[in-house]
Amino acid sequence: MGKIKKLIKACTFQNFKSVLRYIKNNGIKGLFGTCLNKLRFGKVVLDEYATWMANNEPNPQQLEKQTQYKSCQDLSFTIVCPDSDKIEKDNYDALLASIRAQTYSKYEIEYLKKNNENIKDIVKNTKSDYFIFLGKDIELAPFALYEIVKSIEARDSILIYSDNDKFIESTVSNENGGSQTTTGRKRVSPHFKPDFGRDTILSTNYIGNMIAVKTEFLKLHEDMLEDLNKNIIYDLILNISEKTRKIEHIQKILYYELKENMDIDTKDEKAIIKKHLKRCGIEFKSIEDGKYLGQYKINYKIKGNPLISLVVPNKDLISDLDKLMKSVEKSTYENYEVVIVENNSEKEETFKYYEKLKKRNPKVRVVEFKIDYFNYSAIVNFGVEHSKGEYIVLLNNDIEFLTENWMEELLMYTQRPEVGICGTKLMFPDRSIQHAGVTIGTRGLAGHRSREVEEKDYKKDDYINIVQNLSAVTAACFMVRRDLYIDLLGFDEKLAVAFNDVDFCLKVRNAKYLIVYNPFIEAYHYESKSRGQDDSEEKQKRFAKEYEIFVKRWAKVIGKGDPYYNKNFRLDTDIQKINYNKIVL
């Protein structure tokens, strides 16, 4: 009877509409499959993206209402279409049809000629408020211009970009197992993007194939339009990012790519990155291809040969400490010191190991921090106080480096004046992810991004394998400038165990410095073996107190949401999963 009551209760008009929209996006077969999963597995296995679309995109009535909207700024647009010679006719016709289907209709269309040779004349002669630059092989969502208008009216932005997905041909197999039949197009693979990140955009053009740019800004900086590369959008993005911070990200799907694997001219994109770095006066040695097509790794030049201090807290666990030290001793960077902060070791062999280690490696010093309880923040602050390096690396004793040039990889980013911290990718011994950056807001606090994702399951759009800007990284391994660490008063000793590294990262971000995640450093993290679990009553009380301090201090930041984590992702998991509920932006 209970199940029947639940079924009757679920038969609401809103749910009925959701089912109809689900059928529209997935067909009767998709609905049947969902019901079958319910019977087989006892739960509904949703097509999460189809459900997201049903809950978050305008229905026909809402689209019709948008056509009546009058902009309070009477905004107008010049839509710049790519050179038609480089695009299949069907795709170009689809693009033009999607423009004509816009619910906001105050626009004109211009067409680029070969090699973008007429771009300056287009900009010079337009009277519109904003340009919309479109890449090849895309279609606009019918509400794209409307959403851009609403964004401009809310914020005076110079550059605007959005999320996107892909169209693929939907097919079904014939009953006899023969050839497949095409049933139409289906939207898949939503690319829910982060907000603008300087290092992220240099690692890959995640912004993609549609941007809006303020006309007044383009006319003021018309020199940007000289010698634009083939990928005009990527070239403009980097040019504009050098001159303004007014870059707005609309976290909605405003265009669709028409190919599952878009064409990428990596030679052209590398040339665009090189031009940008030279304009900014940033010295680099080379630009390499990343793991996936269209991803890049910049090797920056290191200035001088500064001393790096590795600060390593330790209590008794000499087996893991020895793994760490042996991996450190393989490092290609030679000007470093190791400051082991001895705290409350009880085993005689620990102190014997220290003596052997100092003889084996004269760069090692052991400083004793006498304290009758565990306070990680106090321990690392003591270690930094007794270090001598211009750059500090905070290191857990249960790290083992696989990358020999890991110190150079950290240093090349931390030396940049706008960077506050550089952190690393950490893995469990089975090579699944232990840490690929920290997301603010996970489970109401913060969580390790992509935790336990296996190496075989890495995807291009999960950003595990690119250098990027994030809100925080773990202090199990990160580098910071000594003067910045001191200026920000180090780790807060009221946060003895939990949240201290995230708290420090947020202080760094609050001081307008960037946090960089570098996946080209690989290391195993055996994770808090020496400290144990927070399972005693005393530890639970301590955690509750630190939780209260952290949440009160950063409530506004947590509430606003992590700028580097799209609001369309769920926050009850460390993995990027679609939040298919109604999203309030």
Q: What is the 3-class SS of 106-163, one letter each residue?
A: CEEEEECCHHHCCHHHHHHHCCCCEEEEECCCEEECCCHHHHHHHHHHHCCCCEEEEE
101-110, 146-155, 454-463: range with lowest mean pLDDT? 454-463
Provide the β-strand partners of residue 365. Answer: 339
Res 117: pLDDT: 87
User: Smallest Cα–Cα separation from 78: which of 145, 167, 152?
Assistant: 145
Using the predicted structure, report yes or no on whether residue 282 has a pLDDT greater than 60. yes
- Dump pLDDT digits (tens) for 404-453: 999 999 999 999 999 999 999 999 999 999 999 999 999 999 999 999 99
Q: Which residues contact 97 (CB under 8 A, 6 or more apart)?
A: 139
Provide the β-strand partners of residue 411. Answer: none
CA-CA distance, 58 to 142, in Å (whole number)? 10
CA-CA distance, 46 to 30, in Å (whole number)? 9
In which element (H, E) is residue 514 found? strand 514-525
Report which residue type is found at 565: Y
CA distances from residue 314 to 208, 269, 357, 517 in whole angstroms, order as listed = 46, 46, 14, 25
- Bridge-based pairing of strands 391-395 and 308-314 is parallel
Q: Which CATH number fits domain 61-171+182-300: 3.90.550.10, 3.40.228.10, 3.50.50.60, 3.40.50.720?
A: 3.90.550.10
- Bridge-based pairing of strands 419-427 and 514-525 is parallel
The residue that leads in pLDDT, 255 or 532, is 255
The CATH class for the domain spanning 308-560 reads alpha beta
Identical topology for domains 61-171+182-300 and 308-560: yes
| Ramachandran class of 413: left when φ > 0, alpha when ψ lies in -120 to 50, beta otherwise | alpha
Res 372: pLDDT: 82
Band of residue 22 on the pLDDT scale cut at 50, 70, 90: low
In which element (H, E) is residue 21 found? helix 13-41
Residue with tokens 């053009």: 205
Average pLDDT over the chain, rounded to whole?
90
Using the predicted structure, report yes or no on whether residue 241 has a pLDDT greater than 70. yes
Using the predicted structure, report yes or no on whether residue 338 has a pLDDT greater than 80. yes
Confirm if 248 and 157 have CB atoms less than 8 A apart. Answer: yes
Q: In this structure, what are the phi and psi dihedrals at residue 290, rounded to the nearest 5 degrees?
A: -90, -160
Q: Where are the domains of the chain?
A: 2-45, 61-171+182-300, 308-560
Res 170: pLDDT: 74
Confirm if 367 and 339 have CB atoms less than 8 A apart. Answer: yes
Q: Which residues contact 303 (CB under 8 A, 6 or more apart)?
A: 415
pTM for the predicted model, two decimal places: 0.89
CA-CA distance, 455 to 432, in Å (whole number)? 6
What SS3 state is found at 176?
Answer: coil
Average pLDDT over residues 17-25: 54
| Percent of the residues in the chain that have a pLDDT greater than 90, as a whole number | 78
What SS3 state is found at 486?
Answer: helix
Using the predicted structure, report yes or no on whether residue 531 has a pLDDT greater than 90. no
CA distances from residue 149 to 129, 154, 243, 334 in whole angstroms, order as listed = 11, 9, 23, 55
Res 437: pLDDT: 97
- Dump pLDDT digits (tens) for 70-115: 999 999 999 999 988 878 899 999 999 999 999 999 999 999 998 8
- Dump pLDDT digits (tens) for 481-512: 999 999 999 999 999 999 999 999 999 999 99
Give the gyration radius of the chain's Cα atoms: 27
